[in-house]
Amino acid sequence: MTTENIDIKHIARVEGHGSLYVTTKDKELVDVKMSVDEGARLFEAFLKGREFTEVPEIACRICAICSASHRVVSTKAVEKAMGIEVNEDVVDLRRLLVWGEYIESHILHALYLALPDYIGHESVISAAGEYPDVVKIALKLKKLGNDLQILAGGREVHQVTPMVGGFSSYPTKDRLRELKQEILDAREDLQTCVDLWATLEEPKFERETDYLAIRRDDEYALVDGDLATLDGLRAPVEDYKEHIQERVPDYSYAKAGIRNSHGFFVGALARLNINEDHLLPFARSALETLEIDLPSYNTFLNNAAQLVETAQVFEMAENTIDKLLASDMEWYEPEVAPRAGTGTHITEAPRGTLVHSYEFDEDGLLTYADIITPTAMNYTNLEEDVRELYPSINHQDRSGIEFMLNRLIRAYDPCISCSCHLSTVE
């Protein structure tokens, strides 16, 4: 009997530090352990005692790539706790900030981090020689996402303008008009990427699992909605603990999401599976070009799904800008005063469902925080996928096996620094 360990230390081209340990005996898989090696920062603990106004600013530092989503979901949870209502223009400007993040994050993942696997390169840097045009388009599209984040948030990472109750400054209508034109002009570039992706070969792999996302009746839900699953669950976000559980693996700094004692999948593919009926024309045509049949159970298609969502967000951003341009954009300042309260909000960050839940005392100081990130939710599912994939790749040599495992993990777009700040165990 030969026991072999396939240890992939420091999974590359993902955000943060993670490793995968696979033990096999005579080519049969014995054990799979995904380990998050990022140091524990204990956000939920050190947020305690902070004023409600500063919680979103600190909480968004959990993760840079999703900083806009963390900022917005955290702000909404605080506002729910404080009973603060904001006007529609503020809501729309926040949405615009998040649309910018989607464009930036999806392009970064699909084209910078995942694409090299499909075209035989070790990185986008090395791919730049052979595919200069694609790399230039990727840079341009990513910058467009960042420009939107700057327009609404003042900076591309850890935005500075979003506040509890509104923004510290607002964009001009001229700038909004310019940005809309840039998005319209960029459609062609995005189409080029979709067309290119349609020529790539996707690994064959299917495993039906539980898909979870937020959902609403009137549009493709990205910022707010009810909790939903592909098999029909609809539940208010406040009840999240009934539907999302966690375990604490003793080999990792992250907790792992479970549902009905199994893993579940969150992210672009889950959202497409659950919210397909709300796709706008540009996204629908991308879906057709990429020949994705929904619902899809192939984890690897999560990358292609990100491109479909980018098209969706292009159109949503165009519509949101139109709406802002048609409004008076008279920003009013709601009263922002502390009170005791609790607030939970759930959003879709680009890489999946994200929970922030808080309690405050009467001075508005935080007494309890529970934050569950997408990577934590996907954790168990990822290990289950490795188990399922392994028998189909175990005939390959070691480097081939490692390559496929790396690809599988990357398809999740894990954001590992996120994943170490997980919930309190009750």
Partner 1 sequence: MMSDNGKPKVGIFGLTGCAGCQLNILNIEDHLLDILGLVDITTWVMAKQENSDGPWDIAFIEGSVAKESEVERVKKIRENSDVLIAIGACATHGGVPAIRNMRDIEEMKGTVYGAQTSHLDVIPIKPVSHYVDVDAELPGCPMDKMEFVRAVMALAMKKTPQIPNYSVCYECRVNENPCLLDEGKFCMGPVTQAGCDSLCPSYGAACEGCRGPIAQVNWGAEVKILKEMGATADQIRRKFLKYCPSTADMEEFQELTL
Part in contact with partner 1 (CB under 8 A); list of ranges 135-143, 259-267, 319-327, 336-344: 135-143
CB of 158 to ligand SF4, least distance (A): 6
Site for partner 1 in 377-406 (CB under 8 A): 406
DSSP H/E element including 184:
helix 173-198
Say which amino acid occupies 287.
L
Q: Which two tokens stand for residue 169?
A: 């400054």
Nearer to ligand SF4, 61 or 121 (CB): 61
Give the C-alpha separation, 76 to 91, whole Å: 10
50 binds, among partner 1, ligand SF4, none (CB under 5 to 8 A by kind): partner 1
Give the C-alpha separation, 336 to 47, whole Å: 20
41 binds ligand SF4 (CB under 6 A): no
336 binds partner 1 (CB under 8 A): no
Spatial neighbors of 133 by CB under 8 A, at least 6 apart, are none
Closest CA to 33 of 401, 405, 352: 405
Q: Which of 13, 61, 143, 323 binds ligand SF4 (CB under 6 A)?
A: 61
Decide if 216 contacts 225 (C-beta within 8 A): yes
325 binds, among partner 1, ligand SF4, none (CB under 5 to 8 A by kind): none
Spatial neighbors of 70 by CB under 8 A, at least 6 apart, are 56, 59, 60, 62, 63, 349, 354, 356
CB of 181 to partner 1, least distance (A): 19
146 binds, among ligand SF4, partner 1, none (CB under 5 to 8 A by kind): partner 1
Sign of the torsion formed by the C-alpha atoms of 199, 205, 207 and 210: negative
Q: Is 407 left (phi over 0), alpha (psi -120 to 50) or beta?
A: alpha
Part in contact with partner 1 (CB under 8 A); list of ranges 20-28, 52-60, 78-86, 295-303: 52-60
CB atoms closer than 10 angstroms to residue 346: 26
Cis bond upstream, residue 281 (ω within 30) = no
56 binds partner 1 (CB under 8 A): no
| Footprint of partner 1 (CB under 8 A) | 10, 12-17, 38-46, 48, 50-51, 54, 57-58, 61-65, 67, 108, 112-113, 116, 122-126, 128, 135, 139-140, 142-143, 146, 154-158, 160-161, 163, 168-169, 248, 250-253, 255, 406, 417, 421-425
| Footprint of ligand SF4 (CB under 6 A) | 61, 64, 158
